[in-house]
Amino acid sequence: MSLKEYKPGTTFPGVVGRTPETSSPAWPEPLRAKPGAPNVLFIVLDDTGYGQLGCYGSPIRTPNLDRLAANGLRYSNMHTTALCSPTRSCLLTGRNHHSNGMACITEGSMGYPGANGIIPFENGFLSEILQRQGYNTFAVGKWHLTPAEQISAAGPYDRWPLGRGFERYYGFLGGDTHQYYPDLVHDNHAVEPPKTPEEGYHLTEDLADQAIRFIGDAKQAAPDKPFFLYFASGAMHAPHHVPKEWADRYRGQFDDGWEAYRHKVHQKQLDMGLIPPGTELSRHDPDVARWDSLTPDEKKLYARMMEVFAGFLEHTDHHIGRLLDFIESLGELDDTLIMVISDNGASAEGGPTGSVNENKFFNNVPESLEANLKALDDLGGPKYFNHYPWGWTWAGDTPFKRWKRETYRGGVSDPFIVHWPKGIQAKGEIRPQYAHAIDLLPTVLDALQIEPPAEIRGVAQSPIEGVSFAHTFNEGKAENRHVTQYFEMFGHRSIYHDGWRAVCPVPGPSFAESGMSFGQMEITEEKLRELDAHGWELYHVAEDFSETRNLADQHRDKLIEMIAMWYVEAGKYKVLPLDSRGTQRFAEERPQLTRGRQRYIYYPDTSPVPDNVAVKVLNRPHSISAEVEIHDGAEGVLLAHGGSTGGYSFFVKDKKLCYVHNYVGTEEFAVESDAEVPQGKAELRFEFDPTGRPDLAQGKGAPGRGQLYIDGKLVGQAELPVTVPLLISLGEGLTCGHDAASPVTSRYEVPFAFSGKLNRVTVDVSGELIEDKEAELRAIITRQ
């Protein structure tokens, strides 16, 4: 029988084992979604405050997001957790962040059940649910939901995007990344960016391209199959990177300062009806300098930092618009349930004066106005990892006080847009009902008429903790069903219940008023009792939307009730114990795939090793040894760790052996050989011997002596007066045989791949260094 003669039901004579019951071929029914099932699109912005989108009163132009708001709904009372990983876990699971083990970002995880950084499989992801319902599932952009020690090529991969129900992935697994030199992963493997910054590369454009490609790939093969796309840009997290022409569009528009910005945005929000009539603007933050008190140079620098941020946001909106336009070209925009949200309030990680290298914040390194002014003309470009100052953070959260990492409304109240014309008749309306990030998953399931599964891949599912707000889509005055919600971040606590909020700020309402900096105070049992007795504030947010009137003294009974309720919720969701430490958490040791290693061997032409999996050399004696074979003046990088924001590089250049330590982008300390590297086989070695102790609180790693050896002979040495104390770099790991992403040092251009033969590089942290009496004597003489 030929294929042309075949018709359904035709039998196949002569097939071995054919019986009357199997005389006709039969295939299992393909998994198909319900007829007419809409697409689902989550757009997750990073570090975008309540008052930073155009449709939330900002002067920053966001026409594509504004278009979604005009044809959909804006929610004025949406809440998040005050930090990125915790919020993202809520969005995708419908469970609270402590229930997900996400008390903090994955890099700051601890061993307690609510803070171990490991999202349990009984908390199923929306992607896992929708995949079983016949959806294609794609994740593009920032992930930051895999334990930090599990994101290397050694896996395990079960908590990577493809292990949690996404069929395709393109983006970065960590918390932030360079927008021009990103650390990219495609599905389950690391990849290089398709272009260089010189060729016009920018991450946001690349992410939009990939999202469009994923959808297009699927739709051309199965046009009726719906998709779930989780699109999480690196924007607006630092670095604030954008081509200069986008920032220049805002030239001079912020010269009147952050107070003026707040007053204009507040009035616009009132005019829009976004905030209730009579909502007061929160007080001038004690940690923020008044604009009129600044010097002309400070005003110039800070205004430009905000121009760059504004251009970055408009640029991001433009590429979101490209994605929306593509979906519209398919004829499916109106039947795509789109939810746009930020993961927390505006970020204060730039410090009071802003930063040209956010890695200083994570290493407790103070900023220098003089140095930052020198970077003015290059802000937004690939040279710097810039972030604006606290004043713009505070302004970005208008009308609220405070910011990201704190559980006042400035940290936890965020813009939220829903767009679904085929499912929502209302257009351009505002919804005041209380909602939280945990509510998105149950709302989607409600709108799609999907019951939460009892099990996923054989794992019994925990109860969903969020509450659907789908009933508010077409009824602006619908009842508020999310009545109680706790908050906790770095010991900073609050709770909402039926129109009231109680807040216990840590270390205080502001750093200035507490006399301490972020994460400086340790919450002991004694301190906790003191905070519970005297540290809580009370706000009737049903009447005081922006938390301006503390009623703790007038309504003591209500406050005690709210504090007790917080403890009930804390017990229910595994919130305790509290850990108020900030950047100090990064120094904690965490579980590793291999225990007790003192020797790490790296090979050329392999994937970058993420910082949390790479060898830890900071503040300890160590050696780096490379087995090489050099001919015809071969040169290049042997081992590099980090990038322009901090790190170290061991390399050969101009026939000399070199080591450079990049101290958080502020200064390079170099050791160079006084002898040429010989032709042929050789062992090239660098040793670091600490000569003092680190001062982590002051942003100073251990000083020490750097020495270079060729075949065991000392050929160069120098003192390293200070080293990186806590975090090598932001997003850029360790590479062997070349320097990936941004360059560790200005002494070469990336990738500066080693052109000789490199067998391996061994890093030894056992503390065993070459005993060289002559070198020790010379070092003593040098220090005198």
The pLDDT assigned to 584 comes to 78
Tokens of 561: 């009730």
Choose among 667, 744, 731: nearest CA to 177: 731
* Coil/strand/helix, residue 678: coil
CA-to-CA distance for 615 and 205, rounded, in angstroms? Answer: 33
Choose among 759, 725, 762: nearest CA to 650: 762
Residue with tokens 């990336």: 750
CA-to-CA distance for 566 and 564, rounded, in angstroms? Answer: 5
The tens digit of pLDDT for each residue in 180-231 reads 999 999 999 999 999 999 999 999 999 999 999 999 999 999 999 999 999 9
Contact 707, 714 (CB under 8 A): yes
Q: Which residue ranges in the chain fall short of pLDDT 50?
A: 1, 3, 6, 773, 775, 777-784
CA-to-CA distance for 505 and 502, rounded, in angstroms? Answer: 10
CA-to-CA distance for 128 and 166, rounded, in angstroms? Answer: 7
C-alpha 239: how far from its chain's center? 11
Q: How many CB atoms lie within 10 A of CB 129?
A: 26
Burial class (CB in 10 A: 0-12, 13-18, 19+), 292: exposed
Q: How many CB atoms lie within 10 A of CB 26?
A: 8
Contact 112, 11 (CB under 8 A): no
CB neighbour burial string for 356-371, b if at least 16 within 10 angstroms, e if fewer: bbbbbbbbbbebeeee
* Coil/strand/helix, residue 591: coil
Alpha-carbon torsion, ordered 544, 55, 81, 152, to 10 deg: -170
Contact 522, 427 (CB under 8 A): no
Tokens of 718: 């120098």
Q: Say what the pTM is.
A: 0.93
CB neighbour burial string for 650-660, b if at least 16 within 10 angstroms, e if fewer: bbbbeebbbbb
Contact 664, 357 (CB under 8 A): yes
CA distances from 133 to 31, 230, 458 (A): 7, 16, 16
Vertex 118 angle, CA 116 and 120, to 5°:
125
The pLDDT assigned to 782 comes to 43
Tokens of 524: 């002991």
Choose among 263, 257, 258: nearest CA to 281: 263
The pLDDT assigned to 192 comes to 93
Choose among 484, 482, 489, 481: nearest CA to 506: 489
The pLDDT assigned to 784 comes to 44
CA distances from 139 to 167, 183, 338, 450, 610 (A): 8, 16, 14, 21, 20
CA-to-CA distance for 205 and 196, rounded, in angstroms? Answer: 13
CA-to-CA distance for 658 and 76, rounded, in angstroms? Answer: 56
What sign has the CA pseudo-torsion 550, 556, 559, 563? positive
The pLDDT assigned to 780 comes to 45
Tokens of 166: 């996404």
Choose among 513, 516, 520: nearest CA to 537: 513
Q: How many CB atoms lie within 10 A of CB 132?
A: 16
CA-to-CA distance for 8 and 724, rounded, in angstroms? Answer: 70
DSSP symbol at 80 = -
Alpha-carbon torsion, ordered 389, 395, 400, 401, to 10 deg: 30
The pLDDT assigned to 28 comes to 84
The pLDDT assigned to 201 comes to 98
The tens digit of pLDDT for each residue in 548-589 reads 999 999 999 999 999 999 999 999 999 999 999 887 787 777
CA distances from 221 to 37, 226, 309, 333, 336 (A): 17, 12, 40, 19, 19
What are the two backbone dihedrals, phi and then psi, of residue 311, each rounded to the nearest 5 degrees?
-65, -40
CA atoms within 13 A on the CB side of 587: 18
Contacts 24+ apart (CB under 8 A), 461-464: 461/122, 461/123, 461/124, 462/95, 462/99, 462/120, 462/122, 462/123, 464/94, 464/95, 464/438
